[in-house]
Structures are given as structure tokens and as C-alpha cells.
Amino acid sequence: MARFGTLLVALVAGFATPIAGAARHQYVGGIPLGWSLAGKPADSDTITLSIGLKLSNEDLLEKTLLAISTPGSPEYGKWLEKDEVDKLFQPSKSSDDAVQKWLKSAGVNSISSDGTWINFATNVGTANSLLNASFAQYENDGLKKLRTTQYSIPAEVAGDIDLVTPTIEFMKTNAAKMTDAFGEPLELMKKKRQVPTPASVAPSCATSVTPSCLKQFYNLGGYEGDAKSGSRIGFASFLNESARYEDLKLFDDHFGIPYKPFDVITINGGFNNQTANPIVSNSTVQIQLADTNAEADGDSQLISSITDNALPITEYITGGTAPYIPNLDEPAGAPSNEPYVEYYRYLLSQPNSKLPQVISASYGDDEQSVPEDYAKRVCFMIGQMGLRGISLLGSSGDNGVGAPCQSNDGKKTPQFTPQFPSTCPWFTSVGGTQASDPEIAWLGSGGGFSNYFTRPKYQDAFVGKYLEKVVDPEYYEHYTNFSMRGFPDVAAHSADPRYVYYQDNVLWRRGFAGTSAACPVFSAIVSLLNDARLKAGKPRLGFLNPMFYAVGYKGLIDVAQGRSIGCTGLNFQNGNTTIEGASVIPGVSWNATEGWDPATGLGLPDFQALKSIVLEL
């Protein structure tokens, strides 16, 4: 980024010029692909914003996190409590005081601070004047967000502030779930395979995936969890999604699983919608993904498939639809707010005793659509959760190498488009596989290399070996940076065949698919590994990646067949629809190979093998 004595945050080329006396100026440039100006609010309209104060001791995060999460370290498993993490990174009181003084001097009086974040409510006119901004409505495929293409922070508080949000975040957070069958037809895949179906996997698993299939795929071996161990699991729901109790009960009854309702916690005005929306379709393959429970139903049912509801399950529903909610305790949702900051702020506000040890999140954005400062602050929050021994897993995306495949800085440079937060090195990214005899890389499995985050040390050996096998590094280096964080880390079944599940009281025998299916499956297996460790008097696994790259890979099933593709000008996640203006990069793919690869990471879980490994740690 260029520095000219100012750091102005901007998104639209030609809309902003450096502001004299402003201490921070960042120019990103270019309206993100698919967005357009949709109107301007009145100056009198109310808006709620949040200011992330500059944290203390940021350099200690990586060192401390790796020390307590790497097997063999004398600190391994010594997770921190909430108060310890808060104290370690607490912003200075002088920063809090200075920023509040700045706000009050501009006539802002509705202010609330927790010492790390300051929320304030004002009108749009005052916000524009305060931040030298120009808030407007922007639209993308019917989704509207109140955003500004620029803002600036004055010199007197520039050193006290990390970011102001929501301002320039033009994300369109997506659940990594599929609308249409994707990949090669099952019959064609069968003809290509030379390896017969293993005797341990039922033939019916070749057409649809049931709880029994998952337990066969991943060698559960009849293991039974026990709530008395203290192991718990949660899953995140955004975009007005909420799992239905009735759908889970129908699913559990159908497969003979003891039904237990999950707990629900709403964040930022999230709504627990239990209304059924009947689906009308003449296809047993397609599902109505515009519905308000498709993703969430899949999450709850796949976790139930692995755990048999033996462990407590909590759904976290984070709101994000209302344009203006001037509530200092619950800052506004989209189009005024993105979900990530509010979601992680809530989790970090809770003591360890009130949080599940494992939380699955099947959502993501193109990394480049997330401003770098925002992404790095969210990633830091993910790292703080890791310090507390909470395993955070997320889907790697359903567009393989990428979908828009061009930069959004106004230059439209052809490049791969990795997914955030999978690119965060403190997050465990779950890719996808297809088939079952054996499982191979799924064509849509998201993967690649970050443009924001450098490669963590725990990945060096495995990623280095992969790069030695890249077919044409000179060709690929035009579109990605191999020195950065690689993802995914692990994988589980995603599609072809699809998962059986219930939505709106209807059983779909070939319904749920995508890496958003892989993520809750792998997360649930981790919750059972925690169950085994806690029963043995050992601490929870916590941040997983150093363990997997150090020793856990020995308990994973390496995937060395198949590939993920992308940059074809199509959006695989939305039914292979054409992306207007997208770059087409011929012949690119991530091949599954021995060891780590950007299609399936280190591989698939073998529960019994992993259990033996983690019980020795």
C-alpha cells in the first residue's frame, strides 16, 4: 500500500482523494464485482458503527498460540482462560479515552465501550463528517448494504484505532452449500475407478450418504460419546439461517438416533425461525437453498449423524439484515453490519465454561472482498479463541481454485480467489471429497493460498513438499503466491453422492452437499476425540492445526486422486451460473497428491487412528 502521510480507506477508483491532515489513507480501488450503487440514505437516518481499538501485545499471539497447541511443547494443552486472554491484549485506557473524546467532540453522545470495542450510534450526516465518508446503499443480486467507499481517521486517534466497521466491507457471506448436482455423474465415476468398493462400506453408500455411511467412511467403530465427559459442540448460522427442531427429530427418528434438541443462542438480533417453508420440486436432487434453514438443518443433522446426540449441541444464530438498529448492546446487522466481528465478539465475551470446545462454521467470502485490516482483526480474534482451547473449523468453499478470478482493485488482474476465513492461519479449514471407493478430491473443493496471511511455520514442511510437485509453477505463480498460507487443512465427504437430510419436513435422499457438509462432519469427529481425551483426564484439543501437521496426519486418510477446478467463468456454488465479467484462466486445478494439497489438505479422518494418537499426547 502506498503511504503519502495519510491512510484513507477507499474502494472506488476515482471517488476519493487523499485528505490533508488525515493520518490514515488506504486506497483499495474498484467496486467489487457484482456490486452497484443503489441510492443514498437521508442525513438524518440513524447508523450504528463499531470501532476496534488498537490491541496490546499483538506480537505475542503467534508465539503463545503455537507454544500451547504444538505437541511436544512443555506448554501443550495449557489453554488460557478468558480473563488471561483479555488482559494479554487489552487496549490501553488512554486509547479508549482518546477515541471517546474524539467522538464526543463531533457531537456523538450515544457511546458504549467494553474496553476493546467502542459502539456508537449517530446519524448518517454526522458519520460522514466524522469519517470523511459518503455512506450509500450498494446492491448485489438483491442484497443491499449500507457502505462507504472511503473513510479516514484523523491523526490524533490514528494510533488508537484498528478499524471502523461496517464501512468498506463489501462481503457477500455465503454458506458453502450446493444448489445443483456438481461433478461428474456417479455412473461415469464408477466406470473410471479401478478400486472396488471396500467390503466395510455398504453398497447403498454409493448413491446417498446416511449416518451409517459416515460411520463406515471414517471408522467410528461403534464409539459412543458421553455428555458426562464435558465435551460439547456448536455450529454457526448466518444469513437468517436457523435449524429446525422438527427436521432434526424427523431425521433422528428416521435413522434410529436418540433425539435431543439443540440449544440456541442468538447474537446481534439473530432470529430462531422454526417455521416450515414447504418445498415444491419435481427433483430429488435439487433443494431450495434460498430457504431459511437449508444450511442450518444440514449442520445439525450431520453433527447428530456422527455423535448420535450424545454430546450437547449449540447453534449460534448471528443476525444481519436490518438496515439500521441503533442499539449499543447489539450493533446493527446487514446492510449495516457484517456477521464476523459481532459473532466473534460474542464468543470472546463468554467464559470458557459456557462455550463448546468445537465450533463449526460453514460460511465464507472471497478473501479480496474483505478489507485486509478487517480480515486481520477477525483472524486475530480467531487466534484469541485458539488460545482459550476452542477448535474453530470452517468450510473451504465450493468454487475450487476460485470463481471471479480477478482482482477487485480496479485493475481486474487475473488471479485465483481464495476464501476467508479459511485463509486465516488460526482457523482449521475443511475441504471436500467425492465418491467412496476410495474418496477422491471433489471438483468444487475450495483451496489455494492467501493473499493476506503468510504461511505459518507449522505448514512449511508439508506445503514445501507439495510445491515440489506443482506441474507448472511458472504458470501458476502469475495467479497466486505460494509463500502464503495454504488451505484447506483437512477434508471430509462433500458430494457425489450427496447427503440424506430433512428440510421443512421433507426427506431429501440426494440433498445436502458442499464443503459446508464436510465441515460439521469433521467438527463432530473432533468433538468425539475431545470426549475421549476428557474421559482420560486430558485437556481438550483446542487449536488443531499444529497437532495435525506434527503428528495427527498419521491418523488421516491421505487423498491422492482427483482434483478441484475453477476460474472457468462459472459459479459452481450457484448451479454453474455464469459470472458476468469474471476472468477465465485456462487449465488450472489443484491436484490431490500424497501428503498435503490445496484440494483436500492432509486428508480424511480415521477416527480410531486419530483417537489412538490424541490419547498419547
- Known binding-site residue numbers for Ca(2+): 558-559, 595, 597
Give the helix ranges, DSSP H, for 286-416: 294-307, 339-349, 372-387
The backbone torsions φ and ψ at residue 229, rounded to the nearest 5 degrees and listed phi first, read -65, -25
Burial of residue 518 (number of CB atoms within 10 Å: 0-12, 13-18, 19+): buried
List active site positions: 295, 299, 516
Which residues belong to the annotated binding site?
A: 558-559, 595, 597
Sorted by sequence, the CB contacts under 8 Å of residue 319 that are 6+ apart come out as 240, 266, 267, 268, 269, 270, 271, 330, 333, 339
8 A C-beta contact, residue 135 and residue 41: yes
Q: How far is CA 145 from the centre of its chain?
A: 20
Q: Which residues pair with 499 in a beta bridge?
A: 209, 512
Q: What letter represents residue 271's amino acid? A: F
Label each residue of 469-486 as H, E or C: CCCCHHHHCCCCCCCEEE
Label each residue of 257-323 as H, E or C: CCCCCCEEEEECCCCCCCCCCCCCCCCCCCCCCCCCCHHHHHHHHHHHHHHCCCCCEEEEEECCCCC
Query: For residues 361 and 296, what is the distance between their CA atoms, to the nearest angstrom?
Result: 10
Provide the 10 A C-beta neighbour count for residue 475.
13
Give the single-character DSSP code of 556: E
Query: For residues 32 and 597, what is the distance between their CA atoms, to the nearest angstrom?
Result: 29
Residues in the chain, how many? 617
Query: For residues 501 and 512, what is the distance between their CA atoms, to the nearest angstrom?
Result: 7
Assigned C-alpha cell, 181: 448436482
Q: Is the dihedral of CA 230, 65, 417, 594 positive or negative?
A: negative
Residue with cell 515440489: 468
